[in-house]
Amino acid sequence: MSNFFQPTFGNRPEQIVGRDGEINAFISGLKEPIGARERCTLFLGQRGMGKTALLLEIADRAAAAGFIVARVTAFEGMPSAIIEQIQLNGSRYFKDEKKSLSGVTVGAMGFSFGLAFSEAANQQYGFRAKMSLLCERLEEKKKGVLILIDEVQTSAAMREVATAYQELVGDHRNIAIGMAGLPYAVSGVLNDEVLTFLNRACKVNLGSISIASIRAYFEHAFRSMNISCPEPILDLAAEKSRGLPYFMQLLGYYLTLYAKDTSAIDKETLKKAESSAIRDLEDNVFKPTLAPLSDNDRFFLMAMARCKDPITTNELQEQLGSQASSLQPYRKRLLDTGIIEAPRRGELVFAVPYLREYLLDEEESGFHVRR
């Protein structure tokens, strides 16, 4: 029996749970006129909230809606990767256009044939001009172009692509863009002087998914694997996922693994699966999330962890003691990074499930914040 759950970063889950609203909104935005705000969307989410999974789903749905999709990560070679992906994914619409018998190729301006650039175009043109040619050529086949950028961050490549997008929209090319990144990285992009125009983009916060949708997913998964799971344990398992898609995958994975011999899940199985899942969460989410933070950030987080829920400004100030006023900038910084949220005035919460418990455990086991 293969495991229905796959807690691997960047993979495609069996089914996307609890993100219909976000996906449908983006796909229907593609039907809006060129340059509409919805056609330039930024998805913000903490590690494991499912940014990559969402982009994978959007790529397929957009392709079915008549878009040629380039899905890339914001690394150095991003501009040429985008061109290659468009050529690769769009070429099947040009299969019938053969080379002429004389060996001289037939093609539109700038192309040898299909979506392959002529040698001259290839050498002379940069990203923006090539994109313009590709969009124009694809418009002949009634196709739009969608660029999906994962792991968004400020870089020369990001500036080049985003600026070209803005110019192509100005030229009325049928192009749209979806970007996903950690809130921390996205706020860097929005503050970049070349990229400030992205502040006008739609911003979609990928927060927790609903416990009800997680429960339904567990029920469906265990049933398809012939594993019995009593209703109260299903309820408990869904609650323990706390809306984090990655934790849902981890918990489902270990529940399935530990139920292998008996094909049944009981309280004991859940307890074992939960501790294995938490261990993986710590290694793969908490450690990388905390790594870029300063000692003052951590000090602030520790003070928050010691407060009761909901964390009120008054109680937090007591915990911070004499440092309270000097640590105000860290509150803002942590809010910007998306690790904490302020659901109401005067209240703070941890945006990443289980982080509070992790911080308290670390403190108990002798971890000290250097100040």
Ligand X SMILES: Nc1ncnc2c1ncn2[C@@H]1O[C@H](COP(=O)(O)OP(=O)(O)OP(=O)(O)O)[C@@H](O)[C@H]1O
Does the protein bind ligand X through residue 87 (CB under 6 A)?
no
Alpha-carbon distance of 255 to 265, in angstroms, equals 7
When CB distances are held under 5 to 8 angstroms depending on the partner's kind, the choice from ligand X, Mg ion, none that residue 301 binds is: none
Does the protein bind Mg ion through residue 73 (CB under 5 A)?
no
Specify the 3-state DSSP secondary structure of 314: helix
> For ligand X, which stretch binds (CB under 6 A), given 1-9, 90-98, 229-237, 275-283?
1-9
- Is residue 214 within 8 A of residue 248, CB to CB? The reply is yes
Alpha-carbon distance of 7 to 74, in angstroms, equals 23
> For ligand X, which stretch binds (CB under 6 A), given 7-15, 69-77, 298-306, 316-324?
7-15
Does the protein bind ligand X through residue 286 (CB under 6 A)?
no
> For ligand X, which stretch binds (CB under 6 A), given 16-24, 221-229, 334-342, 348-356?
16-24
- How many CB atoms are located within 10 Å of the residue 106 CB? 12
Out of 41, 46, 52, 269, the only residue in the binding site for Mg ion (CB under 5 A) is 52
Out of 22, 26, 39, 52, the only residue in the binding site for ligand X (CB under 6 A) is 52
159-191: buried (b, 16+ CB within 10 Å) or exposed (e) per residue? Answer: ebbbebbbebbeeebbbbbbbbbbbbbbbbbbe
Query: What's the min distance (Å) between Cβ of 154 and ligand X?
Result: 16
CB nearer to ligand X: give 50 or 79: 50
Does the protein bind ligand X through residue 8 (CB under 6 A)?
yes
Q: From the centroid of its chain, how far is CA 22?
A: 12
Does the protein bind ligand X through residue 71 (CB under 6 A)?
no
DSSP 155: S
Helices then strands, each counted (H, E), the chain = 16, 10
> For ligand X, which stretch binds (CB under 6 A), given 14-22, 66-74, 301-309, 324-332?
14-22
- How many CB atoms are located within 10 Å of the residue 295 CB? 11
Query: What's the min distance (Å) between Cβ of 46 and ligand X?
Result: 7
- Is residue 246 within 8 A of residue 48, CB to CB? The reply is yes
When CB distances are held under 5 to 8 angstroms depending on the partner's kind, the choice from Mg ion, ligand X, none that residue 85 binds is: none
Length of the chain in terms of residues written: 371
Size of the site for ligand X (CB under 6 A): 24
Query: What's the min distance (Å) between Cβ of 267 and ligand X?
Result: 25
Residues 240-259 that bind ligand X (CB under 6 A): 245-246, 249
Residues 144-203 that bind ligand X (CB under 6 A): 182
Exposed, middle or buried: residue 86 (CB in 10 Å: 0-12, 13-18, 19+)?
Answer: buried
- Is residue 348 within 8 A of residue 277, CB to CB? The reply is no
Residues that bind ligand X (CB under 6 A): 6-11, 13, 16-19, 45, 47-53, 182, 209, 245-246, 249
Q: Which residues bind Mg ion (CB under 5 A)?
A: 51-52
